[in-house]
Amino acid sequence: MNYLFEKGSTNSKKLILLHGTGGDEYSLMEIAGFLAPDSTILSLRGTIEEDGMNRFFKRNGLNQFDLDSLEQETDRLHETIKEISENEQIPLEDWLLVGYSNGANIAAHLLLERETKLNKGLFFHPMSLGVHQSRASLEDKTVWLSYGENDPIVSPASFNTLAHQFKESQANLTIQHTAMGHQLTLAEVEKAKSWLEQMK
């Protein structure tokens, strides 16, 4: 996978950035700088190309997901993160997954469906992908989800299903509602920053 790695200051936050459809490894850099200045950053580009747009897994239409691709790419993402973390001598437990839309979807799927030492996620506008096979406890996971009440892509049912999956798995869950659509807003990112600052 193509990626960008930037070493931050000592004792700074460590963020893994996962862009939305059509983004790349640079798309969330400004937001990362706002969320946690001087943080260590690993920003990954999805390996799937759809009509010239980068994605993290295939789909067959709007919200029609290729589940074989989802599983393959989730494994690829997990292995890439583990390999880079080992090379950079960063424990997986130190990372915070930061995803938007498509990137948030695959990151949430990773936390829900894989045995992993990754344990923190900040996900903007994610949705359920219709898969929930693991019944492992996520009591060691801390997750923040945002949802736009006028989002034309993420339905209330799909978001609520994802939130229920995290709750049912005993994750430490925070939900932030906005009155906006699928786009990121300053107020939403400010709420995420406040949440992140309160984390140990």
Q: Residue 133: which pLDDT band, with cuts at 50, 70 and 90?
A: confident
* pLDDT recorded at residue 200: 65
Tell me: the pLDDT tens digits for 71-80? Answer: 999 999 999 9
Say which amino acid occupies 14.
K
pLDDT digits (tens, 9 = 90+) for 55-96: 999 988 777 899 999 999 999 999 999 999 999 999 999 999
pLDDT of residue 163: 97
C-alpha to C-alpha distance for 103 and 129, rounded to whole angstroms? 12
Mean pLDDT of the chain, nearest integer? 95
User: CA-to-CA distance for 126 and 98, rounded, in angstroms?
Assistant: 11
Q: How far is CA 170 from CA 95, 137, 141, in A?
A: 20, 6, 8
Q: Which residues are catalytic?
A: 101, 151, 182
